[in-house]
């Protein structure tokens, strides 16, 4: 072999991986987005928009180096399963989704496509990940709660309405961690000398029956934990609770902004913004298995004083001063 040919051959071996890497970096990436809510849901549209805006800040813009494939599936799990399969057929580089029930569907369909999930309840208990520090599979993301939140919600409701002695927790038992949440709720209720009542629901008709039953309870109240079914029907639920005049506490500020009495929960919009960081790291080569699953570090207590007045509730001054936001 001639010396010049040998040098060119070696040069090719050295430069080829660099060229290949440049081509890999330059290709358009596909991000699948599946939300178990209707496309008309303004709250979740805002959250997805914040996620996309943060990706732009991180260097990923649609029409340039990334393509988005969105599915808005409502909480119909048959439709979710079909949309999840359709997204996976597009060979996405990563998928963003929400809810414990949805992530359970994805994990039965793929063990290789990276999935970032936001607003799940307990990914370890549901089996989605091995541990929060090292998820170990193809799923990572952001939890909406930690184990003490139900106790804190119940305690806050009791402080707002000291006479409350019987509280029902409305929840969809189809959630993988529903039984765990019920046990935590019952334990917290006993600590506060409150009689806990299990109110399982699957649809709006079930919610109406649950709220009506609590309205008949002496000194009754309702706790609405994080749940996709509850959030999907939040406008109708708030109207039901107002009509039956039952004091209730909810899992996030959107409920109190729309007329709910009180809420205690994390900034969910911020969690969607943070999820863009996980997607960015995955697109740049990191593994979902090695990206720690994160939990909220701050929670906000929001009180709707207008609703309290309508219910004839005199909120103690100590509770008012503790609220992060008071809606008047």
| Boundaries of every domain in the chain | 3-144+268-290, 149-265+299-327
| pLDDT at residue 26, as a whole number | 66
Distance CA 169, CA 154 (A): 10
Q: Give residue 13's pLDDT.
A: 41
Whether 16 and 54 have beta carbons less than 8 Å apart is answered as no
Decide yes or no: CATH 3.40.50.2300 for domain 149-265+299-327. yes
How confident is the model over 93-106, as pLDDT tens digits?
999 999 889 999 99
Closest by CA position to 260, among listed 272, 275, 250: 250
Dihedrals phi, psi of 124, to nearest 5 degrees = -75, -50
Does residue 276 contact residue 54 with C-beta atoms inside 8 Å? yes
Does the domain at 3-144+268-290 match CATH 3.40.1180.10? Answer given as: no
pLDDT band at 2 (very low <50, low <70, confident <90, very high): very low
> Six-digit token pair at 90?
């597009």
Beta carbons of 283 and 59 less than 8 angstroms apart: no
Under the banding of pLDDT at 50, 70 and 90, the label for residue 109 is very high
Check residue 186 and give its pLDDT: 94
- Given this chain, do its domains 3-144+268-290 and 149-265+299-327 carry the same CATH topology? yes
pLDDT of residue 144: 80
Comparing C-alpha atoms, which of 142, 168, 163, 141 is closest to residue 153?
168
**How do residues 13-54 score in pLDDT, each as one tens digit?**
443 344 334 334 568 999 999 999 999 999 999 999 999 999
Is the separation of the CB atoms in 314 and 268 below 8 Å?
no
Entry field: residues in the chain: 328
Whether residue 123 has pLDDT greater than 60:
yes
- Rounded mean pLDDT of 158-162? 97
- Tell me how far apart the alpha carbons of residues 67 and 152 are, in angstroms, rounded to a whole number: 41
Rounded to whole angstroms, how far apart are CA atoms 210 and 229? 14
> Which pLDDT score is estimated for 5?
41
Return the SS3 of 288.
helix
The three-class DSSP label of residue 46 is helix
Please give the pLDDT value at position 87. 98
The per-residue pLDDT for range 183-218, each reduced to its tens digit, is 889 999 999 999 999 999 999 999 999 999 999 999
pLDDT: which is higher, 314 or 126: 314
What's residue 70's pLDDT? 97
Q: What does the block give as tokens for 105?
A: 């569907």
Q: Which positions ≥6 away from 27 have C-beta within 8 Å?
A: 65
Predicted confidence at residue 238, as pLDDT, reads 98
Q: Which two tokens stand for residue 199?
A: 């109110």
Q: What is the pTM of this model?
A: 0.84
What does the pLDDT read at residue 25? 53
Containing H/E element for 33? Answer: strand 29-35
- Per residue in 236-294, pLDDT tens? 999 999 999 999 999 999 999 999 999 999 999 999 999 999 999 999 999 999 999 99
The residue with greater pLDDT, 264 or 12, is 264
């Amino acid at each position: 072999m001639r010396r010049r040919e040998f040098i060119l051959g070696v040069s090719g071996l050295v430069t080829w991986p660099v060229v290949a890497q440049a081509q890999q970096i330059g290709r358009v990436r596909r991000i699948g987005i599946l939300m178990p809510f209707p496309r008309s849901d303004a709250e979740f549209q805002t959250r997805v928009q914040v996620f996309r805006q943060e990706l732009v800040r991180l260097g990923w813009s649609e029409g340039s180096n990334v393509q988005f494939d969105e599915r808005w599936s409502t909480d119909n799990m048959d439709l979710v399963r079909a949309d999840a399969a359709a997204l996976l057929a597009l060979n996405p580089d990563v998928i963003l989704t929400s809810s414990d029930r949805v992530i359970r569907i994805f994990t039965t369909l793929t063990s290789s496509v990276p999935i970032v999930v936001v607003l799940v309840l307990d990914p370890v208990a549901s089996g989605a990940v091995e541990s929060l520090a090292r998820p170990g599979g193809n799923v990572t993301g952001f939890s909406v709660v930690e184990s003490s939140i139900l106790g804190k919600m119940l305690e806050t409701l009791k402080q707002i309405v000291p006479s409350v002695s019987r509280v029902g927790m409305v929840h969809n038992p189809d959630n993988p961690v529903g039984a765990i949440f019920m046990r935590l709720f019952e334990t917290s209720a006993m600590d506060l000398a409150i009689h806990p009542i299990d109110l399982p629901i699957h649809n709006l008709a079930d919610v109406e029956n649950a709220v009506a039953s609590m309205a008949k309870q002496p000194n009754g109240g309702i706790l609405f934990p994080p749940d996709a079914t509850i959030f999907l029907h939040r406008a109708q639920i708030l109207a039901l609770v107002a009509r039956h005049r039952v004091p209730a506490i909810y899992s996030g500020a959107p409920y109190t902004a729309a007329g709910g009495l009180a809420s205690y929960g994390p900034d969910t919009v911020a969690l969607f913004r943070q999820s863009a960081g996980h997607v960015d790291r995955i697109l740049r080569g990191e593994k979902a298995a090695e990206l720690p699953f994160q939990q909220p570090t701050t929670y906000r207590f929001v009180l709707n004083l207008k609703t309290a007045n309508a219910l004839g509730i005199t909120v103690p001054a100590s509770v008012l001063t503790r609220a992060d936001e008071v809606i008047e």
